[in-house]
């Protein structure tokens, strides 16, 4: 006997209701999968207020993520003593000259990166120790056209503090070919910086300490700063004395109060290392910024270049110290307590070194730099330094 219209309608509703529930469940599964994929992707690029940085927690969750290469840029001995699990080692100092910390020619950098397994197609996460070197490596790669590069916020210090996985097992990638595509808009030459001192559309940022900026801490043949430069120490980018960056919105307020986003920015320090951290921040904030690689170690030693708040390295003090140190050898009295102390010259990091042989080394460096400076121009054209602070035009 055929079912009546009421029974048929009830059966139909049950059938349709079951199909509808199945479809809803299917759509929920699809949406959940899409959501999880999006979350996974966001973790891969790093959950951080800094778009060019990766948080420690994000990296912890993605140590074995395909397509991500973790690069330890510290010296080989530090890498061998213990590094983040899965990281390879590329010493950033090998990408630049030893004498004045200038980026090597592109062909040499291509060879080093290619032999280390870097081809530019994968995401790179860089980390180091301290506040500077990882950002130096990022600037180099950014200048060379490698866009998918980030740094580990806080470096190895933050990783250890969070009990991140460490190992002493070295990892090496198969050699490949790295092809650079240098972006001149990321690199400032000395001539470009000199031209910028007369360009109202360019702002120059000195990221060194206030004492270096004022010429009280001399680390080249001359102290002082590039004319018109604005002093914003790079330490202001970090939380307290640590290696973790301040939130980006806080840094945006700091730089917006001192810089004009419509102008081109040049950053510099002593050797173009500390300045790469400020370069990193300004890049994130959308400024058109370039790093002056040669920085003060070259500018301060070239007497043809103008400076403000000019001071000069005290050669008389070095000469006096050398005489005092040589006195005991000639049978004279012992050197005074001040012997062995000297003012800093051509140093990138904090403290002045004082030791018995320190003045000899400093004198040799000073003379070598002086000769290099003189060789830039005929002797007749070089103005010799004065003994007092003055503005050099």
DSSP character string of 16-29: HHHHHHHHHHHHHH
CA atoms within 13 A on the CB side of 147: 2
Does the active-site annotation cover 269?
A: yes
Please write the tens of the pLDDT for every residue from 184-207: 999 999 999 999 999 999 999 999
Q: Of the residues 269, 285, 294, 305, which is catalytic?
A: 269
Please write the tens of the pLDDT for every residue from 64-92: 899 999 999 999 999 999 999 999 999 99
Distances (CA, A) of 28 to 17, 34, 38, 95: 16, 10, 15, 51
Is there a contact between 188 and 266 (Cβ–Cβ < 8 Å)? Answer: yes
Tell me the domains of the chain and their CATH numbers: 53-182 (3.40.250.10), 183-393 (3.40.250.10)
User: What stretches of 258-357 show up as alpha helix (H) in DSSP?
Assistant: 275-284, 295-299, 315-326
Q: Please report the pLDDT score of residue 205 as a whole number.
A: 98
* Residue numbers of the chain with a pLDDT score lower than 70: 1-48, 328-393
Q: Please report the pLDDT score of residue 117 as a whole number.
A: 97
């Amino acid at each position: 006997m055929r079912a009546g219209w009421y029974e048929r309608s009830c059966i139909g509703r049950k059938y349709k209701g079951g199909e509808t529930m199945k479809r809803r469940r299917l759509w929920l599964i699809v949406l959940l999968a899409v959501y999880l994929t999006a979350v996974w992707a966001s973790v891969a690029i790093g959950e951080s207020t800094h778009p060019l940085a990766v948080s420690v927690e994000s990296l912890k969750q993605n140590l074995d993520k395909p397509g991500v290469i973790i690069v330890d840029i510290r010296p080989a001995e530090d890498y061998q003593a213990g590094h983040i699990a899965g990281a390879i080692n590329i010493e950033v100092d090998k990408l630049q000259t030893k004498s004045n910390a200038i980026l090597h020619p592109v062909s040499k950098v291509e060879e080093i990166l290619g032999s280390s397994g870097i081809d530019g197609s994968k995401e790179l996460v860089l980390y180091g120790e301290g506040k500077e070197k990882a950002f130096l490596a990022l600037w180099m790669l950014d200048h060379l056209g490698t866009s998918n590069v980030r740094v580990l916020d806080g470096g190895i210090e933050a990783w250890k503090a969070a009990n991140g996985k460490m190992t002493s097992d070295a990892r090496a990638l198969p050699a490949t070919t790295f092809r650079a595509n240098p972006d001149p808009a990321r690199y400032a030459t000395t001539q470009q910086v000199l031209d910028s001192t007369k360009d109202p559309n360019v702002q120059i940022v000195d990221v060194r300490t206030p004492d270096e900026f004022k010429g009280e801490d001399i680390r080249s043949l001359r102290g002082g700063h590039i004319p018109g430069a604005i002093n914003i120490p790079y330490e202001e980018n970090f939380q307290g004395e640590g290696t973790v960056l301040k939130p980006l919105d806080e840094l945006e307020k700091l730089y917006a109060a001192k810089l004009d986003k419509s102008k081109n920015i040049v950053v510099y320090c002593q050797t173009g290392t500390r300045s790469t951290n400020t370069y990193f921040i300004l890049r994130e904030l959308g400024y058109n910024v370039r790093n002056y690689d040669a920085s003060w170690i070259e500018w301060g030693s070239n007497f043809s270049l103008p400076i403000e708040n000019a001071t000069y390295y005290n050669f008389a003090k070095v000469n006096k110290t050398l005489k005092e140190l040589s006195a005991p050898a000639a049978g004279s009295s012992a050197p005074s307590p001040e012997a062995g102390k000297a003012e800093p010259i051509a140093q990138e990091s904090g403290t002045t070194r004082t030791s018995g042989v320190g003045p000899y080394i400093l004198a040799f460096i000073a003379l070598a730099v002086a000769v290099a400076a003189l060789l830039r121009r005929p002797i007749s054209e070089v103005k010799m330094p004065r003994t007092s602070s003055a503005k050099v035009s």
